[in-house]
């Protein structure tokens, strides 16, 4: 006798129940989907995860605003309390970036916006009253990057659950184990405190097939994509609405400005570009310095602990970290060697036979504007510096290097006309003036944080409102009591 799998039996039961329902017209609820034994919210398939999350969504609906707020509080508290342990687990699995900054990112989840951001709008007049409210979508499919696996999931949960949704994650395979661990622990705590099960689900072994299965699942009403160009393209082709936090290649322009403190400029660039070994999508990726500021910036970078590479050292590293392929017709294109993404500066320097202090946070390469380090989103603590003749020329180079991703750009100048001109030209989602990139996400600047910055589709730094449907409710001629 042939044996049926657990999933096949479940499908048969579901079909029989739905036939009974259509026969007598009575509503019959589908059987609850079980996660893997001892792994709350962790599933073998995206289809099962989506079905379970639908159940989680329905339970959250019943728990109301108080339930949403409780989940947000649980997730924020757990990220803070477990930052050291989870940061280490993620670091050991992905082997990229810096442990101290992985911990810092989890601490930062406190500053993700929650239920407080969803304020209804009321209108009252001679014709009655109208309310406008932000309603949930239901189940959201979230695709998360290897560069910040747990922080992106946690930030997405805070935003999405505050808005009343459940979530299914298809994480990057390189960060899937830590994602499953965090999802399991979040669910366990949420179930213990609220009774809601499977509010956050994940696929244990994510693949391109599980991505397709998740996008096709009828329970999934909306997608949130955080990643590079390929996944953004793939999501846009699914036919589902997708909020896309896509790639960037942020330039930082240093103006030829007497009023600048170049040591502060250097510290800001090293901090922003060096954060988590330059894994941040908002991180400074190339420096463009105008006129005399070129040598002043280089000198200050050296004083602040960066190592300036020789031309030969730069070329040796370039050959190893990029695979430069001849595209024919005199064109070439570079493919990033993923083994060096988020690598320590000492590991990069060693390629060129250079031994440096492990405390060094940044390598600097003097290059031309058409260099591959300027053109590509290298995601490693090596920044090219390019000389520009004047400020408009610097902005032109910056704009070319950003590839119209409209992601992020930074500038250091006290010239208000230059600040304004660059902001208009770049047209980026984040524009940080006189600070490190991180100031644009509320770390050292005003504002809140999210690890999903919807650049490609234009929603910007995601908030709970990003994950809602706008609804209006009108009562005619009544309850306008004034
Ligand atoms: P990645 O594009 O390799 O992977 C991101 C996610 O997409 C992963 O879950 C991966 O498994 C999946 N994926 C990749 N290609 C796919 C395809 N063809 N079909 C389906 N799924 C696919 O990116 P990464 O290395 O994990 O992260 C770095 C990239 O993400 C950078 O480009 C960075 O700028 C970007 N990023 C953007 C933001 C933002 O908020 N805008 C935040 C973090 C990272």
Residues in contact with 234: Cβ distance below 8 Å, sequence separation at least 6, in sequence order: 211
Determine phi and psi for 207, rounding to 5 degrees: -145, 180
378 Cβ inside 6 Å of ligand 1 = no
Residue 150 CA to residue 161 CA, distance in Å, equals: 16
Number of H helices, E strands in the chain: 15, 20
> What is the predicted pLDDT for the residue at 12?
42
Question: Ligand 1: which of 102, 144, 145, 375 to mutate, most ligand atoms within 8 Å of CB?
Answer: 145
Q: Tell me the CA–centroid distance for residue 147 and ligand 1, in Å.
A: 8
Question: Ligand 1: which of 227, 342, 377 to mutate, most ligand atoms within 8 Å of CB?
Answer: 227
Radius of gyration of the chain (CA): 25
How much is the pTM? 0.93
Is residue 126 exposed (0-12), middle (13-18) or buried (19+ Cβ within 10 Å)? exposed
> What is the predicted pLDDT for the residue at 330?
65
Q: Tell me the CA–centroid distance for residue 228 and ligand 1, in Å.
A: 4
Q: How do residues 390-413 score in pLDDT, each as one tens digit? A: 999 999 999 999 999 999 999 999
Nearest to 410 by CA among 236, 302, 282: 282
Q: Which atom of ligand 1 is nearest to the CA of 453?
A: 40
Q: Tell me the CA–centroid distance for residue 232 and ligand 1, in Å.
A: 8
Q: Tell me the CA–centroid distance for residue 245 and ligand 1, in Å.
A: 9
Pairing state between β 286-290 and 220-226? unpaired
> Nearest residue CA, atom 21 of ligand 1?
231
Q: Tell me the CA–centroid distance for residue 259 and ligand 1, in Å.
A: 39
Is residue 139 exposed (0-12), middle (13-18) or buried (19+ Cβ within 10 Å)? buried
268 Cβ inside 6 Å of ligand 1 = no
Specify whether the CB–CB gap between 300 and 262 falls below 8 A: yes
Residue 148 CA to residue 276 CA, distance in Å, equals: 10
248 Cβ inside 6 Å of ligand 1 = yes
Tokens linked to 166: 């459940």
141 Cβ inside 6 Å of ligand 1 = no
> What is the predicted pLDDT for the residue at 128?
98
205 Cβ inside 6 Å of ligand 1 = no
Helix (H) or strand (E) segment spanning residue 310: none
234 Cβ inside 6 Å of ligand 1 = yes
Q: How do residues 325-373 score in pLDDT, each as one tens digit? A: 877 676 778 999 999 999 999 999 999 999 999 999 999 999 999 999 9
Measured between its terminal Cα atoms, the distance across the chain in Å is 75
> What is the predicted pLDDT for the residue at 282?
98
175 Cβ inside 6 Å of ligand 1 = no
> Nearest residue CA, atom 19 of ligand 1?
231
Q: Tell me the CA–centroid distance for residue 221 and ligand 1, in Å.
A: 21
> What is the predicted pLDDT for the residue at 5?
46
Nearest to 372 by CA among 431, 296, 317: 317
Residue 158 CA to residue 109 CA, distance in Å, equals: 8
Residue 230 CA to residue 314 CA, distance in Å, equals: 28
At residue 236, the 3 state secondary structure works out as helix
> Nearest residue CA, atom 22 of ligand 1?
231
Provide the greatest CA pair distance for the chain.
85
Question: Ligand 1: which of 203, 228, 246, 409 to mutate, most ligand atoms within 8 Å of CB?
Answer: 228
Residue 370 CA to residue 411 CA, distance in Å, equals: 20
Specify whether the CB–CB gap between 413 and 387 falls below 8 A: no
> Nearest residue CA, atom 14 of ligand 1?
231
Residue 305 CA to residue 266 CA, distance in Å, equals: 9
CA separation, residue 6 to residues 3, 9, 33, 219 (Å):
9, 5, 11, 20
> What is the predicted pLDDT for the residue at 293?
98
Low-confidence ranges of the chain (pLDDT < 70): 1-32, 328, 330
> What is the predicted pLDDT for the residue at 29?
44
How does DSSP classify residue 247?
A: -
Q: Tell me the CA–centroid distance for residue 75 and ligand 1, in Å.
A: 23
Burial annotation 307-344 (CB, 10 A radius, 16+ → b, else e): bbbeeebbebbbeebbeeeeeeeeeeebebeeebbbbb
Residues in contact with 265: Cβ distance below 8 Å, sequence separation at least 6, in sequence order: 254, 297, 300, 412
Residue 352 CA to residue 358 CA, distance in Å, equals: 15
């Amino acid at each position: 006798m042939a044996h049926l799998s657990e999933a096949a039996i479940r499908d048969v039961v579901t079909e029989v129940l739905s036939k009974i329902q259509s026969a007598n017209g009575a509503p019959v609820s589908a059987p609850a989907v079980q996660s893997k034994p001892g792994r709350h919210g962790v599933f073998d398939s995206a289809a099962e995860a989506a079905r379970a999350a639908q159940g989680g969504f329905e339970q959250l609906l019943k728990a109301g605003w108080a339930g949403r707020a409780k989940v947000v509080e649980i997730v924020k508290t757990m990220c803070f309390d477990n930052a050291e342990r989870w940061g280490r687990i993620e670091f050991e699995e992905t082997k990229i970036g810096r442990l101290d900054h992985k911990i810092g990112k989890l601490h930062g989840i406190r500053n993700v916006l929650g239920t407080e951001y969803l304020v209804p709008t009321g209108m009252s007049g001679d014709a009655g009253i109208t309310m406008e409210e932000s309603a949930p979508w239901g189940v959201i499919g979230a695709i998360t990057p290897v560069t910040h696996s747990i922080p992106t999931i946690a930030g997405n949960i805070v935003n999405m659950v505050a808005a009343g949704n459940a979530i299914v994650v298809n994480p990057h395979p390189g960060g899937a184990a830590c994602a499953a661990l965090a999802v399991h622990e979040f669910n366990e705590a949420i179930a213990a405190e609220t009774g809601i099960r499977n509010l956050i689900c994940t696929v244990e072994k994510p693949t391109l097939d599980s991505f397709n299965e998740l996008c096709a699942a009828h329970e999934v009403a909306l997608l949130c994509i955080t990643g590079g160009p390929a996944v953004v393209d793939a999501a846009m082709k699914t036919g589902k609405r997708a909020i896309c936090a896509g790639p960037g290649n942020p330039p930082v322009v240093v103006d030829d400005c007497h009023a600048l403190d170049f040591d502060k400029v250097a510290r800001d660039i090293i901090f922003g570009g060096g954060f988590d070994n330059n894994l941040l999508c908002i991180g400074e990726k190339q420096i463009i310095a105008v006129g005399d500021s070129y040598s002043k910036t280089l000198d200050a970078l050296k004083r602040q602990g960066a190592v300036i590479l020789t031309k030969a050292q730069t070329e040796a590293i370039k050959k190893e970290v990029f695979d430069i392929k001849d595209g024919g017709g005199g064109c070439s294109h570079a493919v990033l060697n993923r083994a060096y993404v988020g690598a320590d500066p000492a590991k990069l320097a060693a390629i060129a036979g250079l031994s440096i202090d492990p405390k060094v946070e940044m390598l600097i390469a003097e290059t031309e504007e058409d260099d591959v380090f300027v053109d590509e989103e290298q995601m490693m603590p090596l920044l090219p510096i390019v000389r520009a003749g004047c400020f408009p020329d610097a902005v032109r180079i910056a704009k070319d290097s950003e590839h119209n991703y409209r992601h992020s750009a930074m500038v250091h100048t006290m010239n208000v006309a230059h600040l304004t001109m660059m902001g208009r030209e770049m047209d980026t989602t984040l524009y940080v003036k006189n600070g490190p990139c991180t100031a644009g996400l509320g770390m050292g600047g005003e504002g809140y944080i999210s690890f999903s910055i919807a650049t490609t589709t234009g929603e910007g730094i995601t908030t709970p409102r990003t994950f809602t449907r706008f609804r209006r409710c009108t009562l005619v001629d009544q309850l306008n009591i004034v």
